[in-house]
Structure 1
Amino acid sequence: MSAWEITKKVLKYTNPTASLLADAVELAAKAVSSASEKGVEPLREEIAKQNLQLQFAQLQARVAQELAIARRIDSAEEVEIEEFYDASGKGQVGLSVDAEAATGTLGLGGEGRKVTKRIYRFKGLHAEAEKIYNQMLASEEHPV
């Protein structure tokens, strides 16, 4: 088994987001390479298809990440969550008129910013989760 295959296997269990994205990128590279051999139009179609698939994979990865967080919250003895949100924006409108030259200009401008930061701190396992965890360890050490 190659180092890349081992890395992908580890990512599957430790970081579902990265795992899904790695799979998507690998498949996309193969499909684009195949389409590029057929010409420009099939290549464009493949790239558009890959963009849609990548967006879908990103959505799936976010769901997997949220589920992993929810499972950890459920099994933790104590959870501390800090969330910071900042959404701000500003815009300008300008108008200038030159009566002598009979000309005018209109200008529009805008700027936006969105900052989201979430910090999770998990401490321990609650009693039931710890009991299940210990049973799993015991069953791995002494398989039936």
Structure 2
Amino acid sequence: MSMWDGYKKALKYTSPIGWLIVEGAETAATSIKSAAAKGIDDLKEEVAKQNLQLQFAQQQARVAQELAIARRIENAEEVEIEEFYDTSGKGHVGITIDGKTETGTLGVGGEGRHVTKRVYHFKGRKESETQAHVQETDAQS
């Protein structure tokens, strides 16, 4: 096993999202290189496939991340969660007519804002139910 393969294997278990990115980039580079040798149409088709695969991998990474957070919440003694989601926008349309010069203007404008913040603080680790039961039984004896 090469050093690079060892690094990828370690990355798979330490950072699943990072591993997906590395694996996807490596696969994409190989596929695009082989499609480029065949011609522009094959290259365009391969790029479209890679975009779909990337979107799928991103979805899988989000699910894996949410599951990891859920497991950590379940096992933590104390959890603090702060989430901010703000999606807002505004727009305007205006028309101005000047009767003296017989001119007019029409304007359209808009602006949008998207804020997302997630902060999780995990403290401690819960004892498993069996350990708590054993301790409770020992305390009663």
- The answer to whether TM tops 0.5 is yes
Cα distance change of structure 1 residues 103 and 30 upon mapping to structure 2, 3 Å threshold = farther
Structure-2 residue corresponding to 1:74: 74
Whole-angstrom CA distance in 1 between matches of 2:103 and 2:45: 46
Structure 2 residue identity aligned to 1:38: K
Structure 1 residue identity aligned to 2:125: L
User: Higher mean Cα deviation, 4-13 or 32-41?
Assistant: 4-13
Whole-angstrom CA distance in 1 between matches of 2:31 and 2:96: 53
Whole-angstrom CA distance in 2 between matches of 1:68 and 1:57: 16
User: Higher mean Cα deviation, 96-105 or 15-24?
Assistant: 96-105
Whole-angstrom CA distance in 2 between matches of 1:77 and 1:124: 5
Bigger Rg, which one: 2
Structure-2 residue corresponding to 1:37: 37
Structure-2 residue corresponding to 1:19: 19
Cα distance change of structure 1 residues 34 and 100 upon mapping to structure 2, 3 Å threshold = farther
Where does the alignment leave 5 or more consecutive residues of structure 1 unmatched?
Answer: 132-144
Whole-angstrom CA distance in 2 between matches of 1:77 and 1:69: 14
RMSD of equivalent CA atoms: 2.3
User: Higher mean Cα deviation, 21-30 or 41-50?
Assistant: 21-30
| 3-state SS of 1:127 partner | coil
Whole-angstrom CA distance in 2 between matches of 1:6 and 1:61: 21
Whole-angstrom CA distance in 2 between matches of 1:31 and 1:98: 61
Structure-2 residue corresponding to 1:93: 93
Structure-1 residue corresponding to 2:127: 127
Cα distance change of structure 1 residues 101 and 35 upon mapping to structure 2, 3 Å threshold = farther
Where does the alignment leave 5 or more consecutive residues of structure 2 unmatched?
Answer: 132-141
Whole-angstrom CA distance in 1 between matches of 2:41 and 2:100: 53
Note the alpha carbon deviations across 1:57-96, whole angstroms, 9 max, x for none: 0000000000111111111111111112222212121324
1:47 matched to 2:44: no
Q: TM-score, normalising length from structure 1? A: 0.79
| 3-state SS of 2:77 partner | strand
Structure 2 residue identity aligned to 1:125: R
Structure 1 residue identity aligned to 2:127: A
Cα distance change of structure 1 residues 45 and 102 upon mapping to structure 2, 3 Å threshold = farther
Q: Identity rate of aligned residues, in percent?
A: 63
Q: TM-score, normalising length from structure 2? A: 0.80
Note the alpha carbon deviations across 1:24-80, whole angstroms, 9 max, x for none: 111111111110001111100110111011001000000000011111111111111
